[in-house]
Amino acid sequence: MEFRRLGKSGLQVSVLSFGAWVTFSNQLDIPAALEIMAAAYDRGCNFFDNAEVYAHGQAETIMGAVLQKAGWRRDSYIVSSKVFGGALKDPSPLQRGLSRKHIYDAAYQAIERMQCDYLDLYFCHRPDPKVPMEEIVRTMTELIHRGDVLYWGTSEWSAQELMEAYAVARQYNLIPPTMEQPQYNMFHRYRFENEYERLYHVDTLGLGTTIWSPLASGLLTGKYNHGIPDESRVNLPGYEWLKEMFMSAEGQARLEKVKQLAEVAQELGTTMPKLALAWCIKNPNVSTVITGASKVSQVEENFSALDVVPLLTSEVMEKIEGILNNKHSKLIGAS
């Protein structure tokens, strides 16, 4: 396993991590989740990502049970939660958003669900224009001072919002965000590579990143090249949006590119998922790539992507760029 600093912080995070979104509760119960998390942990994974909104809190409950059953030392892994959407199916205004009250309530509820004494990472899951930035930054700073959170960050915030948070922190002697959790993959690039470009430097934010959807919701696995398999999560209730995305004109165009990328993977003697993950790891501004899995075999394949990174020479990267042709495209890469 390779470990990278989370931005300019001193925290060393495994470059491949594991997230609970989609699978926990929806597809995995506690015994299955334990088997899969153990497979990741045994391969060097030290970061497990979660959020209050995942399965309405059940994902955190399952992860907490797994961590208790696994018996791993608390100083050997990192856990996260995210606050914004609320854990209830129909939250009231007090039970969602980034008010001081909900940030506090959600933090302690996540700590209780995951049966831990503190959160290593705590993210503002989305920006909240209804709450003053000073209130958000000050509340996160208070949680860190109390020892209930070690690092705070954001998810899918714009560069402008991140700079505002940083400016507020400096103005009032508060703690700025350490990390951002953006979507990043071969088809979703603009924000990570262009909008955030200056924020990675230590003279600005020194921003760390915990990227999500490295396989573009499964599109980059290649398993949709010839239709949608029956066992795919695309067929799960609530994922109609994903099926529509795959069946759209843009989705079909991307599938054609995946078929070309699969040929590159074959030339390298690897698989499409491992090529897509290695491509993300290749970017030095990626602190960690959050992977997901519903089977141990998927964990094994995902984590062996580390072996593919050295194969991505400048010539191979140029060939991939020629297929993608979206390096600076807001239409394809922006959220």
- Catalytic residue list contains 118: no
Residue with tokens 């088997």: 35
Please report the pLDDT score of residue 332 as a whole number: 44
Looking at residue 148, the DSSP 8-state letter turns out to be: S
DSSP 275-287: HHHHHHHHSTT-S
Please report the pLDDT score of residue 334 as a whole number: 41
Give per-10-residue mean pLDDT for the chain (335 aa). 97 97 81 96 98 95 97 97 96 97 98 97 98 98 98 98 98 98 97 97 95 93 68 63 71 88 96 97 98 94 98 97 87 43
For residue 42 the two structure tokens come to 């045994």
Cα 80 to Cα 88: distance, rounded to the nearest angstrom:
19
For residue 269 the two structure tokens come to 């003697």
Please report the pLDDT score of residue 331 as a whole number: 53
Catalytic residue, from 54, 122, 166, 190: name it: 54
Distances in Å between the alpha carbon of 85 and those of 27, 50, 54, 108, 167? Answer: 21, 13, 9, 15, 25
Distances in Å between the alpha carbon of 84 and those of 10, 185, 334? Answer: 27, 24, 22
Please report the pLDDT score of residue 27 as a whole number: 76
Please report the pLDDT score of residue 322 as a whole number: 96
Taking the alpha carbons of 260, 262, 267, 268 in that order, is the dihedral positive or negative?
positive
Nearest Cα to 25, choosing from 59, 57, 61? Answer: 59
Please report the pLDDT score of residue 131 as a whole number: 98
Cα 246 to Cα 69: distance, rounded to the nearest angstrom:
38
Please report the pLDDT score of residue 227 as a whole number: 60
Give residues with Cβ within 8 angstroms of 120, minimum separation 6: 11, 78, 79, 80, 149, 150, 151
Contacts of 248-255 with CB under 8 Å at 24 or more apart are: 250/332, 251/219, 254/187, 254/216, 254/219, 255/219, 255/224, 255/225
Q: Name the superfamily (CATH) of residues 3-221+279-307.
A: NADP-dependent oxidoreductase domain (3.20.20.100)
